[in-house]
Amino acid sequence: MSTLFEEVPPSFGDDVPVRRLELTVNGERRAADVEPRLLLAHLLRNGFRLTGTHTGCDTTNCGACTVLYDGVPVKSCTMFAVQADGHEILTVEGLATASELHPIQEGFKDEHGLQCGFCTPGMMLSAKALLEENPNPTEDEIRWALSGNLCRCTGYQNIVKAVMWAAEKLGGGTAGSDEAGEEG
């Protein structure tokens, strides 16, 4: 054993229910046998080793574990993995391509939208869902959409700027910006 921890295949007793699930994660078909009580966050992190999805509070408060479930932002610590059977999941690992960051990621980089980075994956996925529904959000709408994601560095100001940056880059722009405000 090369490390202090090595995962082994699960060996369940006959009384333990195991279910086969098939889902799409970041565009890729995946399958797994899971106990129904496995949380979606843990399937992603411990099962598929997609550790970009963070578990912060583990009590449905912080939103660090946010992923897109069929395009809708959800807290993956508050869903069972079995509920993802037949569904599409997008995690932060699915945002960038091999060569390019997603505009939302670029925005967080350019506008210093992160300090410790723990809340960032959840913030970015909530932002993605917002911009798909509303490509031209006001600052208030951005704050509202991100209000389920907590940042304990309290870097909200730059997070909002990062999302505005991404909205511009994606072609929408922000209705709340100064220029638009004058006209509207």
Footprint on this chain of other proteins (rule: CB under 8 A)? 16-17, 19, 35-39, 58-61, 63, 66, 72-75, 77-80, 82-83, 126, 144-149
Q: Which is nearer to other proteins, 37 or 109 (CB)?
A: 37
Q: Which is nearer to other proteins, 57 or 96 (CB)?
A: 57
Distances (CA, A) of 86 to 21, 25, 164: 7, 11, 33
Question: What is the smallest separation between the CB atom of 179 and other proteins, expressed in angstroms?
Answer: 28
Contact (Cβ atoms closer than 8 angstroms) between residue 53 and residue 44: yes
- Which ranges in the chain belong to alpha helices (H)? 40-42, 103-110, 120-133, 139-145, 156-169, 178-183
Q: Which is nearer to other proteins, 46 or 112 (CB)?
A: 46
Question: What is the smallest separation between the CB atom of 92 and other proteins, expressed in angstroms?
Answer: 15
The amino acid that residue 59 corresponds to is T
Q: Which is nearer to other proteins, 57 or 101 (CB)?
A: 57
Largest CA distance in the chain: 68
Question: What is the smallest separation between the CB atom of 129 and other proteins, expressed in angstroms?
Answer: 8
